[in-house]
Chains A and B, each alone.
Chain A
Amino acid sequence: ETGVTQTPRHLVMGMTNKKSLKCEQHLGHNAMYWYKQSAKKPLELMFVYNFKEQTENNSVPSRFSPECPNSSHLFLHLHTLQPEDSALYLCASSQEHTANTEAFFGQGTRLTVV
């Protein structure tokens, strides 16, 4: 148990579907992140939120839409995805959104787009 919980653990969706990934952290952290992990590639940062405000969008396509209603919850809304978007999506949190801070990860959502 890392204190960061992601649901669902697995998701299969068609290219015309709309779905959402959920992340909740129980660590009292102020910053939350979405990362994408594709096969044979390093983890890629997608979005950063600090105190509910988005502070980084790493050139992510608009078919991925994040939402952070409070410091404990983070969503990733998915719409009209492509098969190449299939990957492990990881949520992380840290005390602050600065350097010299440790990020703790959830177990991830394995997404398959068909």
Chain B
Amino acid sequence: GQQLNQSPQSMFIQEGEDVSMNCTSSSIFNTWLWYKQDPGEGPVLLIALYKAGELTSNGRLTAQFGITRKDSFLNISASIPSDVGIYFCAGHPPDSSNTGKLIFGQGTTLQVKP
């Protein structure tokens, strides 16, 4: 089945640093979504991307839908301690047009040192 390869698996950075993570696939996706999950909670939607090449920002977060439709990246600028958590990419494959099915990456665990 379709898979999303998310990297890096984990990151440990200093407060104030910028962060970049990405997701790649061998097949195309129609939509890319980025979620953040705190311990013991459900994923919270950060950014949604609908068109190839689209670049969208949400505060200190910026994400892009790759032009090939096979990848996406998420950047976090000037990280703060509350950015700690697990970040997931997710995408709608072409065969999800009637189900809304999402495929998820393995997640990137972010730790921020004050």
Contact = CB atoms under 8 A, between A and B. Distances in A.
Interface of A: 2, 4, 6, 31, 33, 40-43, 45, 48, 50, 55-56, 58, 90, 92, 94, 96-108, 110
Interface string B66-82: 00000000000000000
B100 A98 contact: yes
A42 B104 contact: yes
A99 B43 contact: no
Give the dominant DSSP class at B's interface. loop
Contacts of A40: 106
Contacts of B40: 107-108, 110
Interface residues of B, number: 29
A84 to B, nearest CB: 19
B44 interface: yes
Interface string B32-63: 01010000111111001010000000000000
24 contacts: A2-B44, A4-B42, A42-B103, A42-B104, A42-B106, A43-B43, A45-B102, A48-B101, A56-B101, A58-B101, A90-B42, A90-B43, A97-B99, A98-B97, A99-B92, A99-B94, A100-B30, A101-B100, A103-B90, A105-B43, A105-B44, A107-B40, A108-B41, A108-B42
